[in-house]
């Protein structure tokens, strides 16, 4: 946590419940709620769990796969 982040600025990830600074969270917004995620992997996991019909109705953006890391292997 940086000096600028206070405990009240932390939000739990919707999937793993890890607390992350609100300013760094991935935040898809739907009609009735806001969900926070610690990273793209948790967001993609959460998105895969939603029924497709619900996702379309709520205009939830499609999951974004993290970019492949260069130099691994």
* Alpha-carbon gap, residue 70 to 51, rounded angstroms: 33
Tokens of 5: 């982040």
Question: In 3-state terms, the chain is what percent helix, strand and coil (to 5)?
Answer: 30, 15, 55
Domain boundaries in the chain?
Answer: 7-57
- pTM score of the predicted model: 0.51
Between 71 and 13, residue with greater pLDDT: 13
* Alpha-carbon gap, residue 55 to 49, rounded angstroms: 10
Between 50 and 15, residue with greater pLDDT: 15
H or E segment at 52? helix 52-57
pLDDT in tens, 24-66: 887 776 667 788 899 999 988 888 887 665 656 666 666 666 6
């Amino acid at each position: 946590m940086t000096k600028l982040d206070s405990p009240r600025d932390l939000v739990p990830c919707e999937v793993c419940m890890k607390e992350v600074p609100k300013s760094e969270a991935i935040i898809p917004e739907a009609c009735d709620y806001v969900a926070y995620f610690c990273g793209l992997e948790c967001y993609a996991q959460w998105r895969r769990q939603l029924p497709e019909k619900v996702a379309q109705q709520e205009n939830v953006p499609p999951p974004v796969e993290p970019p492949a890391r260069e130099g691994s292997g």
